[in-house]
Structure 1
Amino acid sequence: MTETSPASALLEVTDLAVGFRTMDGQVQAVRNAGFSLGAGQTLAIVGESGSGKSTTAMAVIGLLPGNGKVTAGSIRFDGQELVGLAESKMRAIRGRSIGLVPQDPMSNLNPVTKIGTQVAETLLVHGMATSKDVDRKVVEVLTAAGLPDAAERAKQYPHEFSGGMRQRALIAIGLACRPRLLIADEPTSALDVTVQRTILDQIGRMTDELGTSVLLITHDLGLAAERAAELVVMHRGEVVETGPARQLLEDPQHPYTQSLVRAAPSVAAVRLSPGAFAAPASQRLHLAETEPGSGGAGPGGSAVAVATAAGPDGVPPEPAEQNYAKTPNIVELKDLSKVYRIRGKAGDFHAVRNVSLEIPRGRTVAIVGESGSGKTTTARMLLKLITPTSGSITFDGVDVASLEKKALRSFRQRVQPIFQDPYSSLDPMFTIERILEEPLKTYKRGDRAERAARVRELMEQVALPASMLRRYPAELSGGQRQRVAIARALALNPELIVCDEPVSALDVLVQAQILKLLGDLQRDLGLSYLFISHDLAVVRLISDYVCVMKDGELVEAATSEEVFQNPRHPYTRKLLASIPGNELNIDGELAS
C-alpha cells in the first residue's frame, strides 16, 4: 500500500492521545498515535489486549466511555474534524457514514428485541428503508451477512442464535447503511474459518464496489496480513511500527512486532504429545476409521475405532514406540444424537446426529466445525448439561445417563469446563479468591486454611500472582480472566476438561501463553482435554486427534497430522483452504 497523503485520506489521525479518569488519577491509554486511511482501502491495527487499538477506534467513532476523553491530537474524517464535534452532528455521521461492527454480540444486541427489528431500526433511523420495504431490506442485509433462512432468522431473538450467528447479525447492522468507513473491531473472532471468509469477502466486495474504507481491529496476524494492505502495530498505547502488511510480517523491525509474529499459531506447527508443539509421527495419536457399514464416518455412521497405524511403508510401528492406541479411553460417545423441536416449524432439528468418538486418557481430542455444526452441543451433552435424545456417553467405563446424586456429584468433580467467554463465566461480584474457593467449599474440600492454601496453589499453577486474589474480574485483562477460569476448572483435580473455544477472544501473545499453560498442565497432571474450536491453527498446536463436524454429523476423524496433511472429506479441505494467512508458518516466514 502506498502511503496515503493527507489530501486524499478519508480518515486521518494525527498525534492522538486518549485519557481515562480513574480513582488513581488520569491514565493515558493512547499516546501520539497517527495513521491515515484512503478511500476504498483497508488498514488493520494489531496488538495485544490493552495496547490501545480498540480505544483508538472508539475515539474515531466518538464512542469512548464516559470517563474517556481525547486529550490531544486530531481525527479528520473526509476533511471534517471530529474531535470536539457536537454530539448531535456526530450522531448524523455515526452509523450512516461511519459504521461499527463491535466484538461482543451478547452485550451489543438487545436480548428482548427480535434480530430483524434491530436491523430494521438501523435502516429506518438513517433513511435507508421505508416502513413499506423495510422487511424486504432486512432479509437482504441478513442474507448478505451470511445468515441462512434470513426471513425466519429475522423473527428470532439473540438467545436463539449461536455465537457465530449473533456476530453475523452485528455485521449485518454495521453494514446496513453502506457506510463510507467501516470500523470492524474483532469482527470475526467468534466465527469459524469458512463463515469468517464469507464475511470478510463480503466486506471486500463492499470496498471494491462502493469505495468503502475498512479500519480493521484484530489480534489475528494471518487475517490482518490477508485482508489489509497496511498494518499499524500498537503496544502500550503507542504506534510502534507501520508498513505494508507483507513487508512488516516478513521483516518486522520492532521487537514487539517480532514477538507478535513469533507467537502467531500456524497450521504448519506440529504438536508434541503431550504438552509441547513438535514430535515425530510415531508419537502421535493413531486412530483409523472403521469400515463402512460398521458405524464409520460418513453417511453410514460416525464411529472412530482405535487402531494401530502403519508406518509410511505399510509396516506397523515397533512395540517400543509410543502408540496412543494402547492408552485406555476415558470417554466414549456412541451414536450420540440431540433433536430439538423448533417453534413455529413442522418437524425436528437434529443438532447432533449419530456421533461416536473416543478420548484416550491424557490426550487431547479436538472437535472443529462451523457455527451450528453441533460441536458445542456435543460438549454440553458430555458435561451432562443437556440430555441426549439417543445414544450413550461412557465416562471411565460408567454410563453417564445412569448417574444420580452421589455418583453425579463425583462426576461433576472429575469433569470440568472452561468456557469461551471469561467475561460472562466469572461472577463479576466475586473476588478472584472467592471464585476459586467456591468449588472447594461446595464440595467440602478442607478447612478454611487448607482452602486458602489450595487457592494460592491454583494461582501459582496458572502463573498469576497472589496479589490478584483481592481483585474482581473487571480489574483483570482478558488473558488473566481466562487463566482464572482455568484455575477454577483445576480446583477439584479433574481428570477431563472440556475446553469450549478457550482462546478465541485472546490476542496471539496471550493465546500462546494459554495454550502453553494447557500443554504444561496436561503433561504435569495427566489431564485429558476435549477441545472445541473453530481456529484450525490452534487445533493443530494442541490436539492429538481431530474430529470434523458438519450439520450435526462427524464427517472426518483422524490424527491431527492426518487431518492437516491429508484431509479426506471435501468439507475438511474447505475448512483448511479458508484459513486466513495460512501461508504464515511457525517461524513467522511467509511462503512464496
Structure 2
Amino acid sequence: MHGEVQAVESASLRLMAGRTLAIVGESGSGKSTTAMAVIGLLPGNGRVAGGSIKFDGQELVGLPENRMRAIRGRQIGLVPQDPMSNLNPVTKIGQQVAETLLVHGMATGKDVDRKVIETLEAAGLPDAKERAKQYPHEFSGGMRQRALIAIGMACRPRLLIADEPTSALDVTVQQTILDQIDRMTEELGTSVLLITHDLGLAAERASDLVVMHRGRVVEAGPARRLLEDPQHPYTRSLVRAAPSVAAVRLRPEAYSGPAADAEPAVPEGDPGSGAVVVARKPETLRVSGATDRDAGNIVEIRDLNKVYRRRGSKEDFYAVKDVTLDIPRGSTVAIVGESGSGKTTTARMLLKLIEPTSGTMTFDGMDVATLSKTQLRDFRQRVQPVFQDPYSSLNPMFTIGRIVEEPLATYHRGNGRERAARVRELMDQVSLPHSMLRRYPAELSGGQRQRVAIARALALKPELIVCDEPVSALDVLVQAQILKLLGDLQAELGLSYLFISHDLAVVRLISDYVCVMKDGELVEAASSEEIFTNPRHPYTRRLLASIPGNELDIDPDAA
C-alpha cells in the first residue's frame, strides 16, 4: 500500500497549567500519535501536515531539532508505553537514569548517585540502591515500567506526557505512581497529558477528558461528567465495555461462568498461613456449556519453590515460596498480586521455561519435571503461553502471517493451504484484518501486537493457556472482545486458563477462582465471588481498595 494515511485529523485540545488531561480511545485512534506530535517524536514517515502546537506560548511545529532537544526531557517529559523497547538492554538502570540527570544539568558527577536513588524511590521502586545496579532483563515488567517513569520524571518537567504509564503495574503500585504524579502537579504546577485505555483511571486522575476515534476528537469535557453521562455513541460504547469502570459488577454476558451447581471454593486453613489449595468438588468441575470431559484437575502444584542467589549477597531470595494450588479442568484460575510477588515466576515454571528449586507440578497426571523428549513435545502443543510484553515475544523479522502460522508449521499441522486458512480464521477471532498478515510487529500498535500473540497461542487449539497479562496492552473495546473470546472458547472447548493479571476488574470478569500472592507466597485463595465480596486477608482488601474508579457512580449498562 502506498500513499499517505491521515492518522489524526483536525484534533484540537487544550491543557491548562497544573491540570491533567486524559486522552482515551481504542488502539489506533490517534492517541499516541497526538502525544508524540507534541514532543516532536513522530516516526520518520510521519509529519505534522497542518495546524499548530503551542507549549507555554511557543510554537513547536517547525521548531529546529536543536531547540526541540532543549525542551524535550527538560521541560516536556515522556513516559513511553513499552518499557522493554525503550530501555537500553546492555546498560544498568541507574546509568540510564543518571544519563538523563546529567544531560539536562539536574545533577553533577558528585551527587548523581544520590539523585538516581532518590528518583527511583520517587517512582516507587523498592531497594532502589540495589536495583540501580541491575539491567532491564533482571526487572519484572512492572519494575521496568517504573524505571521508565523515573526517567520521565527525573527533570521535574513542566509537562509530562504519560503514554499508558501504568499499564504494566499492579493496582497498589499504580496508585503510588499516580499519587506521585499528582503531588508533582500540585507542588510544581506540572501539567500531565495522560494517554490511557483505563476509563476508571482517567475518571479518577484526570480533570479533563478527550475521547478520540479514528483520528478525530469525538467528545471532550470534565472527566467525571463525561463518563457518568456520555453523549457520543462511541463514548457510550467505551463505558459499556470497560471492566475497570464497573469493577464491582460481574456481567454474565461477558463470561459464561461456572456451572450453576458449582460450590464456591474455600481456602484450606487460615488465609494468612501461606500454602493454600484451591478446592472444588469433582462432580462440579465443568464450565457451563463445556464438552463432557473427565472431571479433575488439569494442573496440580504442590509446595513449589524458586530460590535465587542475590547479586553480591550470600542470602537466598525466594521468588516463589511453598505455593500449592490446583487448576480444575475447564476452569479459570487467576493469580493476582503486586509486581515481584511471584506470579510470573510461577507461570514460567509451569510452562517449563525455568526449573523450580523444589516442589512438584503435574499436568494431566504427568510430572512436568520428568517429561521425556516426546512427552515434552506433546506438552508444548497442549500448553500455550500469552506473555505480558507482546513486542519482545514476537520475532521482529517475521511478518504477522508467519508469526501466527509458525506453531502450525513447527508441529506439521495441515498443508500450506490449510494453515493459511487457519491463520485467517485466527485473525478474525482476535479482530485483526487480513491485510495485517504482510506487516511486521513494529508496524502495529501495542494492542494489535498483543492480539497477534493471542492468535498465535490459539493456533494449536491447546488445552491449557497460561495468560500473563494478556489484555494489559489492549483498549477497553478490544479487551472486552478478547475476554469474551476466551470465555466462549472455554465454554466450547473446555479450555483451562491460568490467568495472571494486575487488573482485578478483568480478573473478576473471567475467573472462577482467584489466588492472591504476596512476596512469593500464596496468602489467600477462594472463588472469584468470595474474593471480591468477602476478602479475608488484609492484603487482598488493600488490593481491592486500590482499583482506580471503584467509587465512581458509573453504570455501564445504562451508558
The range that moved more, 70-79 or 533-542, is: 70-79
* Residues 1:302 and 2:275 are matched in the alignment: yes
Q: Specify the alignment match of 1:203 in structure 2.
A: 181
What is the Cα deviation at residue 534 of structure 1? 0.4
Q: Specify the alignment match of 1:85 in structure 2.
A: 63
Q: 1:126 aligns with which of 99, 104, 116?
A: 104
Q: 2:43 aligns with which of 50, 54, 65?
A: 65
Q: Deviations over 1:243-295 (max 9, x none)?
A: 111110111111111111111113222164xx843769945562122135xxx
Q: Specify the alignment match of 2:403 in structure 1.
A: 435
2: CA distance, partners of 1:494 / 1:322: 19
Say what the alpha-carbon RMSD is for the aligned residues: 2.6
Q: Deviations over 1:379-402 (max 9, x none)?
A: 011011111101100111111111
What is the Cα deviation at residue 196 of structure 1? 0.3
Q: 1:220 aligns with which of 190, 198, 212?
A: 198
1: CA distance, partners of 2:23 / 2:397: 33
Q: Specify the alignment match of 1:369 in structure 2.
A: 337
The range that moved more, 423-432 or 113-122, is: 423-432
2: CA distance, partners of 1:37 / 1:215: 8
Q: What amino acid is aligned across from residue 440 of structure 2 in structure 1?
A: Y
Larger Rg: 1
Q: Specify the alignment match of 1:193 in structure 2.
A: 171
Q: Specify the alignment match of 2:130 in structure 1.
A: 152
Change (3 A) 1:109 1:563: same
SS in 2 for 1:35: coil
Q: What amino acid is aligned across from residue 362 of structure 2 in structure 1?
A: T
- Please state which structure has a larger fraction of its residues in strand: 1
Q: What amino acid is aligned across from residue 196 of structure 2 in structure 1?
A: T
SS in 1 for 2:347: helix
Change (3 A) 1:581 1:435: same
Q: Deviations over 1:337-390 (max 9, x none)?
A: 100112211211100000011111111000001110000000011011111101
SS in 1 for 2:18: coil
Q: What amino acid is aligned across from residue 380 of structure 2 in structure 1?
A: R
SS in 1 for 2:48: strand
- Indicate if the aligned counterparts of 1:298 and 1:555 stay in contact, CA closer than 8 A: yes
Q: 2:249 aligns with which of 240, 246, 269?
A: 269
1: CA distance, partners of 2:352 / 2:391: 23
SS in 1 for 2:341: coil
Q: Specify the alignment match of 2:489 in structure 1.
A: 521
SS in 2 for 1:100: strand
* Residues 1:110 and 2:96 are matched in the alignment: no
Q: Specify the alignment match of 1:141 in structure 2.
A: 119
Q: Specify the alignment match of 1:230 in structure 2.
A: 208
What is the Cα deviation at residue 472 of structure 1? 3.5
SS in 2 for 1:289: coil
1: CA distance, partners of 2:189 / 2:127: 29
What is the Cα deviation at residue 305 of structure 1? 4.6
Q: Specify the alignment match of 2:549 in structure 1.
A: 581
What is the Cα deviation at residue 465 of structure 1? 5.0
Q: Specify the alignment match of 1:76 in structure 2.
A: 54
Tell me the TM-score normalized by structure 2.
Answer: 0.93
Q: 1:413 aligns with which of 368, 374, 381?
A: 381
Q: Specify the alignment match of 1:50 in structure 2.
A: 28
Q: Specify the alignment match of 1:353 in structure 2.
A: 321
- Indicate if the aligned counterparts of 1:285 and 1:323 stay in contact, CA closer than 8 A: no
2: CA distance, partners of 1:388 / 1:568: 29
1:282-431 matches, within 5 Å, as 282=260, 286-291=264-269, 297-299=271-273, 301-307=274-280, 327-431=295-399
Q: What amino acid is aligned across from residue 386 of structure 1 in structure 2?
A: I
Higher RCO (Cα < 8 Å, 6 or more apart): 2
Tell me the TM-score normalized by structure 1.
Answer: 0.88
2: CA distance, partners of 1:242 / 1:176: 31
1: CA distance, partners of 2:438 / 2:113: 51
SS in 1 for 2:8: strand
Q: Deviations over 1:111-161 (max 9, x none)?
A: 111111111111111111111111111111111111111111111111111
SS in 1 for 2:317: strand
What is the Cα deviation at residue 61 of structure 1? 1.2
Q: What amino acid is aligned across from residue 304 of structure 1 in structure 2?
A: V
SS in 1 for 2:9: strand
- Indicate if the aligned counterparts of 1:271 and 1:279 stay in contact, CA closer than 8 A: no
Q: Specify the alignment match of 2:217 in structure 1.
A: 239
2: CA distance, partners of 1:131 / 1:302: 48
SS in 2 for 1:27: coil
Q: Specify the alignment match of 1:30 in structure 2.
A: 8
Change (3 A) 1:525 1:465: farther
Q: What amino acid is aligned across from residue 508 of structure 1 in structure 2?
A: V
2: CA distance, partners of 1:281 / 1:189: 32
